[in-house]
């Protein structure tokens, strides 16, 4: 039995991931704003520290962390909040639990990117660059100058690039911790229900084609995450795996 930490565990992909891992016989410590084992607001440094302490009170060893908590870039959402939850909230939890991951001897992290990083045109590259410099206030400031819809892919790209850069460093693979990312397409969850209901963006919800002619299900993303966490994925390091029914391949047939 392994112990896994899943944020955003109260809804959507996080809830499906927690359920699947529990079905597989593992222990899951869920982190969310409510209805979870550890209640924490990952949008602030204090909330992230509280989340890490809350997990530490329950376990000394963590085999995997899956930061699913995220905020979509919908109309009326503060773009700075998207930065703080999606990028700094995810990495605050992952970095805070690095000692517990290292203690497992074979830790794994699966970050939630998005296929918007390759499929949505015009996103805010400056926000992604500032996230990767670790300057939350600067990244929030750049985000505030643009629209949340163009900030969301920037936070997800920064997570994907972090997996490929920092994930190869001494604290991560050098400590036996494999860092990878998944890049889901449109998945039917409460988040995308809210997207469909958005007065401006709702019309675009289903504008990306899929080869399988349907949106994804949270269970399908959970299955991929559980595989990446498992020892069956022992050779997979620094990968960004598109889990999108073929959308990225359809839009970029010539890019590996």
Q: Which of 112, 130, 131, 160 binds ligand NAI (CB under 6 A)?
A: 112
CB 88, CB 130: distance < 8 Å = no
Q: Tell me the chain's radius of gyration from C-alpha atoms.
A: 17
Interface with ligand NAI, residue 229, by CB under 6 A: no
Interface with ligand NAI, residue 167, by CB under 6 A: no
Q: How far apart are CB 42 and ligand NAI at their closest, in Å?
A: 4
Q: How far apart are CB 170 and ligand NAI at their closest, in Å?
A: 27
The DSSP 8-state label assigned to residue 196 in this structure reads H
Residues 52-71 that bind ligand NAI (CB under 6 A): 68-71
Interface with ligand NAI, residue 190, by CB under 6 A: yes
Name the closest residue to ligand NAI (Cβ): 12
Interface with ligand NAI, residue 114, by CB under 6 A: yes
CB 111, CB 7: distance < 8 Å = no
CA terminus-to-terminus distance, the chain: 36
Q: How far apart are CB 86 and ligand NAI at their closest, in Å?
A: 6
Q: Which of 41, 129, 206, 220 binds ligand NAI (CB under 6 A)?
A: 41
Who's near 145: CB < 8 A, 6+ residues apart? none
To the nearest 10 degrees (0 to 180), the angle between helices 148-164 and 136-144 is: 150
Who's near 190: CB < 8 A, 6+ residues apart? 11, 12
Interface with ligand NAI, residue 189, by CB under 6 A: yes
Interface with ligand NAI, residue 10, by CB under 6 A: yes
| Stretch (H or E) spanning 21 | helix 12-23
Q: How far apart are CB 41 and ligand NAI at their closest, in Å?
A: 5
Active site residue 152: yes
Give the distance from CA 248 to its chain's centroid: 18
Footprint on this chain of ligand NAI (rule: CB under 6 A): 7-8, 10-14, 32-33, 41-43, 68-71, 85, 89, 112, 114, 184, 186-187, 189-192
Q: Which residues are catalytic?
A: 152
């Amino acid at each position: 039995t392994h112990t896994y930490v899943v944020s955003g565990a109260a809804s959507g992909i996080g809830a499906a991931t927690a359920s699947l891992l529990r079905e597989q016989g593992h222990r899951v410590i869920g982190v969310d704003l409510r209805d979870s084992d550890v209640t924490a607001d990952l949008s602030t440094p204090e909330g992230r520290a509280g989340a890490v302490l809350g997990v530490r009170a329950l376990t000394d060893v963590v085999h995997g962390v899956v930061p699913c908590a995220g905020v979509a870039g919908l109309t009326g959402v503060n773009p700075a909040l998207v930065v703080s939850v999606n990028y700094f909230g995810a990495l605050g939890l992952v970095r805070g639990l690095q000692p517990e991951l290292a203690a497992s001897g074979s830790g794994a992290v699966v970050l939630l990117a998005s296929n918007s990083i390759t499929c949505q045109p015009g996103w805010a590259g400056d926000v992604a660059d500032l996230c990767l410099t670790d300057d939350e206030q600067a990244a929030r400031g750049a985000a505030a100058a643009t629209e949340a819809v163009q900030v969301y892919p920037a936070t997800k790209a920064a997570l994907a690039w972090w997996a490929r850069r920092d994930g190869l460093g001494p604290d991560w693979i050098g400590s036996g911790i494999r860092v990878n990312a998944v890049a889901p397409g449109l998945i039917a969850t409460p988040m995308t229900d809210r997207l469909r209901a958005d007065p401006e963006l709702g019309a675009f919800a289903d504008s990306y084609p899929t080869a399988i002619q349907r949106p994804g299900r949270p269970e399908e993303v959970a299955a991929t995450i559980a595989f990446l966490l498992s020892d069956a994925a022992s050779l997979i390091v620094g990968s960004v795996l598109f889990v999108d029914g073929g959308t990225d391949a359809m839009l970029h047939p010539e890019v590996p």
